[in-house]
Amino acid sequence: MKGKKILVTGAGGFIGHHLVKYLKKKDYWVRGVDIKHPEFESSEADEFELLDLRQEANAFKAAGGVEQVYNLAANMGGIGFIETHKAEIVRDNILISLHMLEAAKQNKVSKFFYTSSACIYPGYKQDSPNVTPLKEEDAYPADAEDGYGWEKLYTERACRHYQEDYGLPTYTVRFHNIYGPLGTYDGGREKSPAAICRKVALAKKEDQIEVWGDGNQTRSYCYIDDCVEGIYRLMQSDYHQPLNLGRDRMVTINQLVDIVTNISGKKITKRYDLTKPQGVRGRNSDNTKLRNVLKWEPKTSLEEGLVHTYKWIKGQLKV
For residue range 87-105, list pLDDT tens digits in order.
999 999 999 999 999 999 9
Is residue 1 scored above 50 in pLDDT?
no
123-128 long-range contacts (CB < 8 A, ≥24 apart) are 123/280, 126/280, 126/281, 126/282, 126/283, 127/280, 127/281, 127/282, 128/281, 128/282
- For the stretch 37-75, pLDDT in tens is 999 999 999 999 999 999 999 999 999 999 999 999 999
153-185 pLDDT tens trace: 999 999 999 999 999 999 999 999 999 999 999
pTM of the model: 0.96
CA–CA dist 286, 249 (Å, integer): 10
Q: Among residues of the chain, what percentage have pLDDT more than 90?
A: 96
Strands 250-252 and 218-220: antiparallel
Close Cβ partners of 308 (under 8 Å, ≥ 6 residues apart)? 180, 181, 223
Rounded Cα distance between 143 and 123, Å, is 6
Residue 190 CA from chain centroid, whole number: 11
Give the three-state DSSP class for 312: helix
Label residue 206 exposed, middle or buried (CB < 10 Å: 0-12, 13-18, 19+). Answer: exposed
Answer whether 73's CB lies under 8 Å from 96's CB.
Answer: yes
Calculate what percentage of the chain has a pLDDT beyond 70.
99
Q: How many angstroms separate the Cα of 87 from the Cα of each of 7, 27, 215, 279, 291?
A: 27, 39, 28, 18, 36
Mean pLDDT, rounded, of the chain = 97
Does the annotation mark 148 as catalytic? yes
Of 28, 70, 148, 221, the catalytic one is: 148
pLDDT at 312 (0 to 100): 98
Which domains are delineated in the chain? 5-178+223-245 (3.40.50.720), 180-220+249-281+300-318 (3.90.25.10)
